[in-house]
Amino acid sequence: MNLFRRKNVADLQAEALTDHSLKRALGPVNLTALGVGAIIGTGIFVLTGTVAAQNAGPAVVLSFVLAGIASVFAALCYSEFASLVPMAGSAYTYGYATLGELFAWIIGWDLILEYAVGAITVAVGWSGYVVSFLRDFGIVVPPQLAAARGTELVDLPAALAAGLKMRPGWAAFGADLADQIRALGTDPASLSHVTAVFNLPAVIIIFIVTTLLVVGIKESANFNNLIVFVKVGVVLLFIAGAARAINSANWHPFIPANTGQSGHFGWSGIMTGAGIVFFAYIGFDAVSTAAQEAKNPQRDMPIGIIGSLLLCTVLYILVSAIATGVVPYGQLDVPDPIAVAADRAGMGWMGKLIKLGAIAGLSSVILVMLLGQSRVFYSMARDGLLPPLVSQVHPRFRTPWLTSIVTGLAVAFFSAVFTVREAGSLCSIGTLLAFAIVSVGILILRVREPGLERRFTTPWVWLIAPMGAISAFALMAALPWPTWERLIIWFAVGMEVYFGYSVYHSRLSAGAPAGETAWARALKLVGVTWIVFGTLGSILWLFRFRETYLPGAGGLFLGCLSLLVSWSFGTLLSVVAHLSDRLHARYAPAASSAAASEPESTAAPGLKAR
């Protein structure tokens, strides 16, 4: 069983020319707009606030710069791959062509999570802007239906809100806000409090976007182009209108001192912030998932990827600098930080337009995230790694409608109960992992198949590609441990699916090994399960619980012993199963032949007797 079997790049190119199951309707403008639709949105409208407030302070600008530099390295590698392999699936397809099926599965399984959780993150932010926008017109969404489940909200009277320099009405309640309220002589307990049940606006936007994706890619692209035009205009309006309200004192200190905890301000906070906001640069990656729907992918994919990246990086830097200049960074830990900045800048009717643009921008991000997620599902099912039902294309709309609907339902559920921070923490690490693998993969492809015709070549590839991988791994290392923990758990579940189903049904598979029985296959899966979850438990013990329950050499020895036992027992089960396969393959045919010849041997004496 070859876990590193690869797709041939020439075969992929031929398949791209003959496979018309998805409609080729996107040109360079559509693709660039698709990238802008994904990139402008999350970083500017949602993550700017939470990263500034919890990680980097005004130096969130540097976080965006670092993430942008790493993105440029990866974008150049993505562009060469996208022009070589114009198939749906993005980094998954690229990994399949260079590193083999197991790595491709890891990437694809990871991207399924990242696109889905990315859409959840943005849907929660979208809800915050919608609630704020409707409040401008006197429409109050019931607070119980306007935030993540369990979120505590407090009703701020007009006089108190003026002292806090906040808007009157319902606001998320936390320790910082409570301290500010007490400082003004008011007891927080005397105010009205409610606890949110679920986030209704987030569910509504997921339903709308899912419907668009089921109807068709061209209709979705036209809708996206309109939204991109609107939101770029209002982003420029915010830059022009809010710049006059900058208070340079808010930029001091530019890099707040570290609190003593890694990732909370200081340079470690800047690096952690860069790792988090890197999620916002997933836009150009989402462009490459639509390669099979591009009219001229060899020419148009590099234009869409690099063009959208450069345009949006500049806007990110400008908007984050202005937002932290207008509002003290500690007050930006909200789902709608740009709405807060627009209100603080006293932009009036322009502030309403800004919020409307944010709503439009986040809508297009959700569209691109769910588009990319369903296309990765489609590609993996087409390759046999997921059940055929997943790749079913609608006969009229020619879109993978079942995966779009199932994905939409799952994303809508979690959007109703997650906060921005809870969802956003899951996103960046998977994106960075995919970028690192693509950067390594382009080098492998240059060595393995140097004669391929390349419409776009990565310049200085032996510098750019290693820098892309190194920068991605550096940002991954800066992310907090809970983010790694969730990725490892998702990875463990993926390994079960791969070894239980995908490895046998892959289009590159020769079928089940000779002599394999049902119990031997089950034993192999049990062995993999023991290794995967035993390793997971050992890692969690060593890095999460050891210092609390058994610090020192004893805890370290227990963790290492657990890891050794997990691998030893799991390997033993796998070896027994493979030995069973070989014995069954060797002796079962002989036994079958003997059983088949037995009637002839018993009949022969009778014939002779006659």
417-420's contacts with Cβ under 8 Å and 24+ in sequence apart are: 417/148, 417/149, 417/150, 417/198, 417/199, 418/120, 418/121, 418/124, 418/148, 419/124, 419/147, 419/148, 419/151, 420/46, 420/50, 420/121, 420/124, 420/125, 420/128, 420/335
Task: Let me know whether 44 and 173 are in one domain.
Answer: no
Residue 21 lies inside a defined structural domain of this protein: no
Task: Let me know whether 317 and 232 are in one domain.
Answer: yes
Q: Please give the tally of structural domains in the chain.
A: 3
Structure tokens that stand for 170 in this block: 């319902």
Task: Let me know whether 313 and 435 are in one domain.
Answer: yes
User: What is the full DSSP assignment across 85-106?
Assistant: ---TTTHHHHHHHHT-HHHHHH
The backbone region for 7, taken as left when phi is positive above 0, alpha when psi lies in -120 to 50, beta otherwise, is beta
pLDDT, residue 589, reads 62
Rg (alpha carbons) of the chain, rounded to whole number: 27
Task: Let me know whether 471 and 511 are in one domain.
Answer: no
Residue 340 lies inside a defined structural domain of this protein: yes
Residue 270 scores a pLDDT above 90: yes
CA distance 22 to 33: 20
Task: Let me know whether 456 and 581 are in one domain.
Answer: no
CA distance 88 to 298: 13
Q: What angle, 0 to 180 degrees and rounded to 10, lies between the N-to-C axes of helices 101-136 and 337-344?
A: 30
Task: Let me know whether 259 and 311 are in one domain.
Answer: yes
Closest CA to 79 of 249, 340, 305: 305
Task: Let me know whether 241 and 328 are in one domain.
Answer: yes
Distances 193 to 134, 166, 172, 186, 319 between C-alpha atoms, Å: 21, 17, 10, 14, 33
Write out pLDDT tens, residues 181-240.
998 889 998 999 999 888 999 999 999 888 888 876 555 556 666 777 777 788 888 898
Distances 266 to 330, 499, 503, 525 between C-alpha atoms, Å: 15, 44, 46, 46
Task: Let me know whether 270 and 318 are in one domain.
Answer: yes
- List the beta bridge partners of residue 18: none
Task: Let me know whether 69 and 167 are in one domain.
Answer: no
State which residues form the domain around 173: 152-195
Residue 470 scores a pLDDT above 90: yes
Write out pLDDT tens, residues 337-360.
888 888 888 887 777 888 887 887
The mean of the pLDDT values for the chain is 81
Domain boundary (455, 477, 499) is at 477
Residue 126 scores a pLDDT above 70: yes
Task: Let me know whether 36 and 100 are in one domain.
Answer: yes
Task: Let me know whether 470 and 552 are in one domain.
Answer: no
CA distance 385 to 376: 11
Write out pLDDT tens, residues 30-53.
777 777 766 776 677 778 888 898
Residue 409 lies inside a defined structural domain of this protein: no
Task: Let me know whether 169 and 254 are in one domain.
Answer: no
Write out pLDDT tens, residues 491-507.
888 888 898 889 888 98
Residue 416 lies inside a defined structural domain of this protein: no
